[in-house]
Amino acid sequence: MYSHDIATLTSWLDEARSAVFFGGAGVSTASGIPDFRSAAGLYASQGPGGRPPEYLLSHDCLVDEPAEFFAFHRANLVHPEAKPNPAHTGLAELEAQGRLAAVVTQNIDGLHQLAGSRVVYELHGSVERYHCLGRDRHQFTLAQIPDEPVVPNCPRCGAMVRPDVVLYGEALDAEVVDAAVAAVRRADLLLIGGTSLNVYPAAGLLHYYRGDRLALVNLSETPMDYQADLVIHAPIDEVLAEVCKRLFG
């Protein structure tokens, strides 16, 4: 597997002290979570009634058709059986060993934290967290959300409860974006993995990187391949498993 490129990435990570990882759906496919934009991904199919997934996962659908929203959300975005794979555990180990400063992720599955990563900026939120739409915005975990009724209501105030994810038609959380930008600016290595880099504004954060070591690991080509100092077209879980094997034995 691209032995020379793996050796280069291993050397860069060994020397790094404030590396940042920026990842997407490809990080979690080895955990059994389907991606969104491949030929077999969620967005390649239609939802119930022929409606596009982009609508069923939108703010408008949540407001106008909450039952349809939650049915689709639970069927396609919630994967309680998923476990961290070598990409997640490798990144957690790199952080624990003082080489990785932060993970910036477009994923909402919470697997980075489950693997042990502590500094994780979730640009699109998390299916592990919920809040009610009442005045006090009561907080809940996924485990506290019952299967019935389909549309969950707050047991304290009766308001609808929604997932802490960024839906179509909603803006990213400004505090999370600012923290992610600051981490990218400070990075001495930026490692991009498992993302097509076609989702904006999230992908735009990469333009804040000021370092001279940009590594990109993805199965297919991305719009930033030509800007990267190192490109490996392979699964990110396999690459990080080999890198961590070389670094930590």
Tokens of 209: 């990187």
What 3-state DSSP class applies to 200?
Answer: coil
3-class SS string, 31-86: HCCCCCCCCCCHHHCCCHHHCCHHHHCEHHHHHHCHHHHHHHHHHHCCCCCCCCCH
Q: Does residue 201 have a cis peptide bond before it, meaning omega lies within 30 degrees of 0? A: yes
Q: How many CB atoms lie within 10 A of CB 15?
A: 12
How many angstroms separate the CA atoms of 172 and 151, rounded?
24
* Catalytic-residue membership of 138: no
Nearest to 6 by CA among 248, 242, 173, 224: 242
| Catalytic residue from among 124, 138, 207, 233 | 124
Residue the block writes with tokens 């930033």: 224
Positions marked catalytic: 124
